[in-house]
């Protein structure tokens, strides 16, 4: 028996969902718009401060449904041109 297809919301759609609920829309209507279960909407609303902090910090990348902080401020690599030869030999 096949279940429903899972819908994974990344951080930006979660913020949009929070704003929609705070603007006065019913959670059920918002759930239908985002094609997620109503209990997922309530869970996102419960954690809204966490999602806002992550969104406002700007130091995140999203992998699947988990928000992970990127704590490597000192790293600034340009991978379009590859590593310089000297760095490549010491790196590998």
Please give the Cα distance from 80 to 69 (Å, whole number): 23
Topology given in CATH for the domain delimited by 11-91: Arc Repressor Mutant, subunit A (1.10.10)
What is the secondary structure of 21-90 as a DSSP string?
Answer: HHTT--HHHHHHHHT--HHHHHHHHHTHHHHHHHHHH--EEEETTEEEE---TT-----SS---HHHHHH
What pLDDT, on a 0 to 100 scale, did the predictor assign at position 64? Answer: 46
For the stretch 30-52, pLDDT in tens is: 999 999 999 999 999 999 999 99
Given pLDDT bands bounded at 50, 70 and 90, which one contains residue 92?
low
Q: Which structure tokens are listed for 27?
A: 């959670």
* Domain ranges, ordered by start, for the chain: 11-91
């Amino acid at each position: 028996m096949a279940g429903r297809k899972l819908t994974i919301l990344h951080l930006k759609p979660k913020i949009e969902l929070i704003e929609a609920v705070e603007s006065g829309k019913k959670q059920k209507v918002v759930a239908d718009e985002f094609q997620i279960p109503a209990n997922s909407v309530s869970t996102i609303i419960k954690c809204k401060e966490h999602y806002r902090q992550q969104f406002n910090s700007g130091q995140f990348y999203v992998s699947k449904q988990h928000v992970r902080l990127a704590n490597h401020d000192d790293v600034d690599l340009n991978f379009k041109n590859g590593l310089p030869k000297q760095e490549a030999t010491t790196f590998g």
